[in-house]
Amino acid sequence: KNEVEQSPQNLTAQEGEFITINCSYSVGISALHWLQQHPGGGIVSLFMLSSGKKKHGRLIATINIQEKHSSLHITASHPRDSAVYICAVRSHQFYFGTGTSLTVIP
Amino acid sequence: NAGVTQTPKFRILKIGQSMTLQCAQDMNHNYMYWYRQDPGMGLKLIYYSVGAGITDKGEVPNGYNVSRSTTEDFPLRLELAAPSQTSVYFCASSYFGQGSYEQYFGPGTRLTVT
Least confident of B15-19, B23-27, B40-44, B94-98: B94-98
Q: What is the mean pLDDT of residues A36-41?
A: 84
Tens-digit pLDDT profile for residues B31-69? 999 999 998 888 899 999 988 999 999 889 999 999 999
Q: How far is CA B39 from the centre of its chain?
A: 17
Question: What is chain B's Cα-based Rg?
Answer: 13
A82 to chain B, minimum CA–CA distance in Å? 17
Residue B20 has pLDDT above 60, yes or no: yes
3-class DSSP state of A49: strand
In terms of DSSP bridges, do strands A52-56 and B64-66 run parallel, antiparallel, or are they unpaired? unpaired
Which candidate in A23, A43, A86 is best for mutational testing of the B interface (most B CBs within 10 A)? A43
Residue A24: predicted pLDDT: 97
Q: In 3D, which of A2, A8, A52, A94 has the Cα closest to residue B58?
A: A94
A74 to chain B, minimum CA–CA distance in Å? 21
A51 part of contact set with chain B, CB < 8 Å: no
Tens-digit pLDDT profile for residues A65-99? 999 999 999 999 999 999 999 999 988 778 899 99
Nearest to B103 among A4, A33, A50 (CB): A33
